[in-house]
Amino acid sequence: MRILSALAAAAALAGCAAAPTPGAEPHAGRPLSIPDFQGGGENWTISIRPTHSEEYDARLAWSDGSGQSRFTLTDNGRPADAPSNLVLLSGETPVNGRPQPVVVEIRREACTVKSGRTYMHSVHVYAEGLPAGVSPMSGCGLMAVRLQD
């Protein structure tokens, strides 16, 4: 498999967004163009990998890895008023043995970290039930498109 640059991923992502809102356009069974995503910010990371046409496996770690959660995110289509640079995924993450809502927002836009390095995407994670001060999480990330040879 080849991995294309984040710039090519951004081009592939153009026009593709998702959100858990009524009135969303369904994907009608076609594969999604949202590729693997790795992101994070100060003291947290998220990894998202597509599994099915509308689902993604996600791993969220916070507090420098002392808190972790694995869960499934769903792409429910594109709201009519969503900007083309926005991807919204939603799901539930187990917190203290109970499912809690989580929303991941990825935007195709320049994002610079404290070290001065610039990434092609910003990421925001909103998760209920996490320890005080953990959510919301904001940071930067990279996408990759995998192609079959």
pLDDT-wise least confident of 5-9, 67-71, 105-109, 140-144: 5-9
Beta bridge partners of 141: 39, 121
In tens, the pLDDT along 115-149 reads 999 999 999 999 998 887 888 999 999 987 555 54
Which pair of structure tokens corresponds to residue 64?
A: 């420098």
pLDDT of residue 33 exceeding 80? no
Q: Cβ contacts of residue 44 below 8 Å, gap of 6+?
A: 60, 61, 62, 63, 125, 134, 137, 139
- Give domain limits for the chain: 2-147
pTM for the model? 0.73
Which pair of structure tokens corresponds to residue 146?
A: 């995998």
For residue 32, name the pLDDT band (cuts at 50, 70, 90).
low
In tens, the pLDDT along 55-100 reads 999 999 998 778 899 999 998 776 789 888 888 999 999 888 899 9
pLDDT of residue 31 exceeding 70? no
Q: Cβ contacts of residue 76 below 8 Å, gap of 6+?
A: 18, 19, 20, 21, 24, 54, 90
Kindly list the distances between the CA atom of residue 135 and the CA atoms of 41, 65, 90, 124, 127, in Å, as whole numbers in the listed order.
12, 15, 15, 9, 6
* pLDDT greater at residue 53 or residue 58: 58
Q: What angle do CA 117, 120, 122 make, to 5 degrees?
A: 90
Q: What's residue 5's pLDDT?
A: 31
